[in-house]
Amino acid sequence: MPFFNREKEVAGLKSILSGEPNVIWFVYGPINSGKTALITKVLEELPDGYCVFYINFRGVETRRYEDFVRALFQPRDESFWEKLVKKADIIEAALDYGEKIIKKINHHFEVPTRVLKLLFQREPERDVFKYLEVLMKRLNDKGKKPVLIFDELQMLREVKKNGNVLYDLFNFLIRITKEIHLCHCLCATSDCLFIEDIYSNARLGGRANYFLVDDLSKEEAFKVYEGFGFREKDLIWEYIGGKLGDMVLFLEEKKLGFSEKEILKKMVKSTLNKLDWIRLTKIKKLEDGESYLKFLKKFKNKEKMDKREVEEEFDKLIYWVKENVLFYNPLEGTVKTQSRLIFHAIKEL
C-alpha cells in the first residue's frame, strides 16, 4: 500500500523509538488502515545507529515450533560459513558473525545452517530467546539501537514449545524492554481480540502500551482523493471514508475506465456479497444463526458504539470481529464497522 503523509503518527513512533525501551508497544488499527506502510516509512527515516529486525508472519506457515524458528532465522550457506569462522563454540561464533553482517533493516536473523539446527532443539542452553538477548546486548555494547518488530503476531496462536510459544515470546519481550532496556519492541496487528487475550494471559499490565493507526480523517482523506484525481469527493467519503485500502482499490477500478458512481456500486455490491457469503457458509449452520444476523442491525444506523451497549450479546460481537466485519478498539472500549463500505452493506442486508 502506498504511504500518505501522516505527520502525527510518524512523529509519535519516532518519539517512542528515540527513548529508552520500557514497554512493549502494540501498533494496532482497522484492516487496511496503513499500519505496515507507516512502520516502513518510520524505519526508512531512522538515523544511522539503529538495527531493525522486522519479522512479518503473514503468509508464513507457523504450526510448529520449528516453523517459528524458521520465520526468525535465515540459514547461511555452510561452505561460506566455514571460510569465516573456526571456533569450537559454534553459538559464540554465530553471535560474532551476526554482529558483523547486521544491516540497518533486517527481515531475518542470519545464522549458519548448523546453528539453525541447534536452535530447533529445546534445551535451555540452546534457547532462541537466550541467543537473541545476547545478540541485543552485544549490539547495545557497540552503541547500536536494536528494534524488534513483529507483524501479524497472532499467526503464532497455535505454536507450542512446552506450552504456548507466544507466552514465552512475550516474557522475553518484557525482559528486553521493561527489565533490562535492551531493545524497542513493536507488535503490529489488526486482530484486537488477540491483543486483549495476550494482554491478560501474558500479564502485560504496566508492561505494554497501545499505538493506534486509524483510518484517515475527512481532511486527510480529501487530500488523498485530490492526489488520486477523484471528483465526487463527498460521495466517495460517504462510502469509503478514510480507508486507505479502499481508496487504492477505487483508484485501480478508475484506471479501467469505470465512472466513480459505477465503482462505488461495484464496491458496495462486493462487500454485500462478502456478508452474504458468511451468512450462507457459516451463520446458516448455527442453531441460532438468525440472531447473529440480527445483531448486525445494531449498526444499521450507528457506525460506532461503546462495547457496553452490546455486552449482553458479547459472543456475537466477538464472532463479527473475528470475521473482520466489526473492529474492536481495546483502548477506547468501542466497536465500529471495519469500513464504511461494510456500514452501507449492513444497511442493504
CATH of the domain at 193: 3.40.50.300
Q: Is residue 183 part of a domain?
A: yes
Tell whether 234 and 169 lie within a shared domain. Answer: no
Low-confidence ranges of the chain (pLDDT < 70): 1-5, 77-101, 121-126
Q: Which of 212, 241, 263 is the last residue of a domain?
A: 212
Tell whether 206 and 268 lie within a shared domain. Answer: no
Give yes or no for a contact between 237 and 217, defined as CB atoms under 8 angstroms apart: no
Q: Which of 190, 212, 234 is the last residue of a domain?
A: 212
Q: Which of 194, 212, 230 is the last residue of a domain?
A: 212
Of residues 58, 320, 73, the one with CA closest to residue 189: 58
Q: Is residue 144 part of a domain?
A: yes
Please report the pLDDT score of residue 84 as a whole number.
52
Tell whether 250 and 180 lie within a shared domain. Answer: no
Tell whether 190 and 298 lie within a shared domain. Answer: no
Please report the pLDDT score of residue 97 as a whole number.
61
**Sequence letter at residue 45:** E
Tell whether 64 and 27 lie within a shared domain. Answer: yes
Tell whether 232 and 108 lie within a shared domain. Answer: no
Cα–Cα distance, 190 to 188 (Å, whole number): 7
Q: Would you mind telling me the total number of residues written for the chain in this entry? A: 349
- The grid coordinates of residue 245 equal 485500502
Domain limits for position 252: 218-348
Please report the pLDDT score of residue 4 as a whole number.
67
Q: Is residue 1 part of a domain?
A: no
Cα–Cα distance, 299 to 257 (Å, whole number): 33
Q: What is the pTM of this model?
A: 0.86
Tell whether 200 and 294 lie within a shared domain. Answer: no
Tell whether 227 and 204 lie within a shared domain. Answer: no
Cα–Cα distance, 234 to 219 (Å, whole number): 11
- The grid coordinates of residue 124 equal 535451555
Tell whether 205 and 227 lie within a shared domain. Answer: no
Q: Is residue 302 part of a domain?
A: yes
The count of structural domains within the chain is 2
How many other β-carbons are positioned within 10 Å of the β-carbon of residue 221?
A: 22
Q: Is residue 2 part of a domain?
A: no
CATH of the domain at 275: 1.10.10.10
Tell whether 263 and 314 lie within a shared domain. Answer: yes
Tell whether 11 and 132 lie within a shared domain. Answer: yes
**Sequence letter at residue 24:** I
Tell whether 172 and 241 lie within a shared domain. Answer: no
